[in-house]
Amino acid sequence: MATLLNLIAPVGALLSGALAQTGVETNLTTYMYPDSNITAASVYSVNGSKVAPKGADILTVGVIGDYGWAGWQPSPDDFCLKVLPYLESLGVHSPNEVRNDCDPGDKQYIINATQMQMDTSAYVGQICAMKNCSAFISVGDNFYDSGVDFTTAGILRFEQAWVTMYQQGVFDYAPWYQCLGNHDVVPGQSGVDFQTKVAPLYDDRWYFGTKGLPYYTYDLTGSDWSATFVVVDSDCFLSSYQKNTSVYYNSYTQACHSTRQEQLDFLSSTFSNSTAEWKFLQLHHPYRSAATNETDLEPLMDIVVAHKATVMNGHDHCMGHFYSNDTNFILSGAAGYPQAGDCNNGTAPGPYAKFLGANSLSAANGFVTMDISKNVINVEYYLRDMTFDGGDLYSVVYDLDPSYNFQITQHSC
């Protein structure tokens, strides 16, 4: 595991000679390490993040989302309930991070949520040891409640909620193909820069493409098959985030909303250029959901439908399988604090909802695995038996077996 400090020193020394050979494709001059002349782009591709192994007949990957709770420090009640409304009454606007860290629901969940993230990380490690997962595919919300940026507080959160949370066994080597969620963009550009440009240098398991952008593509390559993944930042597509009252309204989301056509073009051109058997769109928000169908994502979905691709998303804090528009939607948003309401308390709102990992009282923690091979992708939903001293928040009789599975056999085009 590379740390930022031990990377910067040798890279600085190597810089002039090494850069020519490193294949840095784009100048990312927007990010500059403090007190140095080293741009993120300069060091970005020197060695790069880990990637999944190539050449397997069957490659297993884990799909995981909505996990990053550990270490979150909410704003205190005194501030949230008294000072914040008083400031607002005077027309003093508090920063979005500060407002967001007052979220009353999230404040109520934090103790349980942290424990659930820890228990679920152990469960994911156990299943992945059994199944030999080679990589993790993240669908975002990496750091509640207000993301991380390049500050001491951000670094501490990065360590607590991810670096040390996912360790040992498969976690020691498997790369995480990362994605941004709504919580990740609350700090704006500085938060996005930390996750897309700094984190890959901080820890080589954290993968965010090769250009330091919030959208990117990667391929997984087997012995006789390949799969093309496109990651986009769905935060840029939601019109609700463009309201000036939204905690997600900042210069980053404004800019990427106005340039969202770039992400559409990137998705379209990457899918068109790819001859892979399998194509995936990896993003945070759901187009098909048991809670809220984000119709603003329609332009992305037109491209998905045209290429017979599969969608992986999070945001709803539960696990689900939806089939609509001849497309599979894999929801894996349950690696942190699961919420039954996000899966309509377990009741399918229509025949498009094939599976919901919830009941009338609670939703399960867990994640999804995909066993990818030439002719079939086996998709398995692992739901954790949530026993605790004095009860069971979600009962699964034998949770080392998947609670649900389905197969994708229709190749992409």
Ligand X SMILES: *[C@@H]1O[C@H](CO)[C@@H](O)[C@H](O)[C@H]1NC(C)=O
Give yes or no for a contact between 352 and 324, defined as CB atoms under 8 angstroms apart: yes
For 336-354, give one letter per residue: b (16+ CB within 10 A) or e: bbbbbebbbbbeeeeebbe
The verdict on 270 binding ligand X (CB under 6 A) reads: yes
Q: Which own/partner pairs from 15-18 qualify as long-range (CB within 8 Å, at least 24 positions apart)?
A: 15/42, 15/43, 18/46
Six-digit token string for 410: 């229709």
CA distances from 300 to 212, 266, 305 (A): 21, 10, 9
Helix residue ranges, H only, 207-290: 251-258, 260-273
The verdict on 134 binding ligand X (CB under 6 A) reads: yes
Q: What is the dihedral of CA 102, 103, 108, 113, to 10 degrees?
A: -110
Q: What's the min distance (Å) between Cβ of 292 and ligand X?
A: 7
Residue 52: CB atoms within 10 A of its CB come to: 23
Count of positions on this chain that bind ligand X (CB under 6 A): 37
The verdict on 259 binding ligand X (CB under 6 A) reads: no
The verdict on 36 binding ligand X (CB under 6 A) reads: yes
The verdict on 24 binding ligand X (CB under 6 A) reads: no
Residue 12: CB atoms within 10 A of its CB come to: 15
The only residue of 28, 40, 49, 59 in contact with ligand X, by rule CB under 6 A: 59
Give yes or no for a contact between 174 and 136, defined as CB atoms under 8 angstroms apart: yes
The verdict on 323 binding ligand X (CB under 6 A) reads: no
The only residue of 4, 32, 51, 53 in contact with ligand X, by rule CB under 6 A: 53
The only residue of 190, 242, 254, 345 in contact with ligand X, by rule CB under 6 A: 345
Six-digit token string for 361: 């009282």
- In the region spanning residues 288 to 307, those forming contacts with ligand X, defined by CB under 6 A, are 288, 293, 298, 301-302, 305
Contact region with ligand X (CB under 6 A), list: 119-127, 246-254, 269-277, 399-407: 269-277
Say if residue 268 is exposed, middle or buried (CB neighbours under 10 Å; 0-12, 13-18, 19+). Answer: middle
Q: Which residue number, 43 or 184, has a Cβ lying nearer to ligand X?
A: 43
The verdict on 239 binding ligand X (CB under 6 A) reads: no
The only residue of 352, 378, 404, 405 in contact with ligand X, by rule CB under 6 A: 352
The verdict on 275 binding ligand X (CB under 6 A) reads: no
Per-residue contact track with ligand X, 75 to 114, x per CB under 6 A? ---------------------------------xx--x--
Positions in the binding site for ligand X (CB under 6 A): 2, 7, 10-11, 27, 36-37, 46-47, 53, 56, 59, 108-109, 112, 132, 134, 244, 266, 269-270, 273, 288, 293, 298, 301-302, 305, 324-325, 340-341, 344-345, 350, 352, 388
